[in-house]
Amino acid sequence: MPESFPEVEGGGSLIVAWQIRNKKVLVIGGGEVAAGRILNLLNADAKVTLISPREGLNPEVAHRVERKQVEYIDRVFEPSDLDDPNISMVLTAIDDPAASTVIWKLCKEKRIAANIADVPPECDFYFGSVHRDGPLQIMVSTNGNGPKMANIVRRRIADSLPPNIGDAIKKVGALRRKLRVLAPGNDEGPKRMQWMSKVCLAWSLEDLCAMEPEDMDALLESYGPNEIPTFDQVRLGEKPGVFQFDGSFGWYI
């Protein structure tokens, strides 16, 4: 029998989590769209340089400038602004299509990834609608077809999620870091991944949220034999698969 593989469905985007921590990003424009872009960048720990005349700053962007959360240049864009080799990406949010296209072409010449707001053909990447809960990020993209629809879908997804899922993910992250200290070798990688997957399947969201550092230490004791005790077993100090005698029947296993 021939093997069955997924059919290719073109027309999509490669959705990735772009790590831009401590990397320089140039934002051109200071209106409402720029405000959303800047917040996304700051949440990702990017180093943001903003170019816009002061009279073009909306209240949120002006707040970022006043708090020195961005490096601010009070003027219109100049081609020499792209000469900095440390620029990782450029975002434009200005009400001048012709000027935006010029910036786009300059970015292409210098091989700098760029996003021209509201002009999908002049974008190397898109900003989707994002739901954020601590370490959890969920992005919905319509590939430039309908930003409002992306927002509607994102809200529906967010409404279906448990309210404490962000806390559960933080606890899982802490457990993974402890596990890497316990079993640091590369050869342990497959076992670590398998064991962590089994924990996430065996423990409820409520269990993961309630997990404390001492619970993690007790749970990690079962990594060697590759077992998964229940949350109650961890709290009671019991071992997986062992019946604890309480004296009520006069016998034990």
Which residues belong to the active site? Answer: 118
Q: Identify the bridge partners of residue 91 per DSSP, sorted by sequence position.
A: 27, 115
* Amino acid identity, position 221: E
CA 224 to chain centre: 31
A 10 A CB-CB count for 134 gives 13
Enter the tokens of residue 185: 């070798």
Counting every residue written for the chain, the total comes to: 253
Q: How far apart are CA 196 and CA 102, in angstroms?
A: 50
Strand order across the beta sheet in which 24-28 lies: 71-73, 47-51, 24-28, 87-92, 113-116
Sequence-separated (6 or more) residues with CB below 8 Å from residue 253: 243, 245
Write the DSSP symbol of residue 121.
Answer: G
